[in-house]
């Protein structure tokens, strides 16, 4: 536990939350600034900063909970789908330095937009691949 981490405080019961699901390794609770009603955060109970820090077994447990929460949102809230998001490090928008996944219910006409896409030249892709494989 990181005593300065708001999510660790939620796990410890020091900060209230609206729990959606909990098991021995994970916790799912409603986001306080939801994209849509039912927007849920899924976290490991142990403190890991980001994807590179989390052991694979803990990540597997978190993803199993993400799957359960997604199915729960579809079954109980009547949504037809959901987005899953994870912002890894502050440059990518991570506001709380505790690994967490957003499960965001989608509704027709909700106005939520995906990120913009752009074209890529073959030479750019080749340069990226060369760096990744070096």
Active site residues: 100
23/79 Cα distance (integer angstroms): 24
Give me the residue label for tokens 């927007």.
39
Q: Which of 105, 21, 24 is nearest to 61 (CA)?
A: 24
């Amino acid at each position: 536990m990181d005593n300065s981490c708001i999510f660790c405080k939620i796990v410890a019961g020091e900060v209230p939350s609206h729990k959606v699901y909990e098991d021995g390794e994970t916790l799912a609770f409603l986001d306080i600034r939801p994209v849509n009603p039912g927007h849920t955060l899924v976290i490991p109970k142990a403190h890991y900063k980001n994807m590179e820090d989390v052991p694979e077994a803990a990540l597997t447990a978190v993803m199993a909970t993400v799957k359960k929460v997604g199915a729960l949102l579809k079954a109980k809230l009547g949504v037809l789908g959901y987005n899953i998001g994870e912002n890894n490090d502050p440059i990518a928008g991570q506001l709380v330095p505790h690994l967490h996944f957003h499960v965001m219910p989608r509704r027709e006409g909700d106005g939520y937009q995906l990120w913009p896409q752009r074209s890529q030249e073959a030479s750019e892709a080749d340069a990226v691949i060369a760096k990744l494989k070096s």
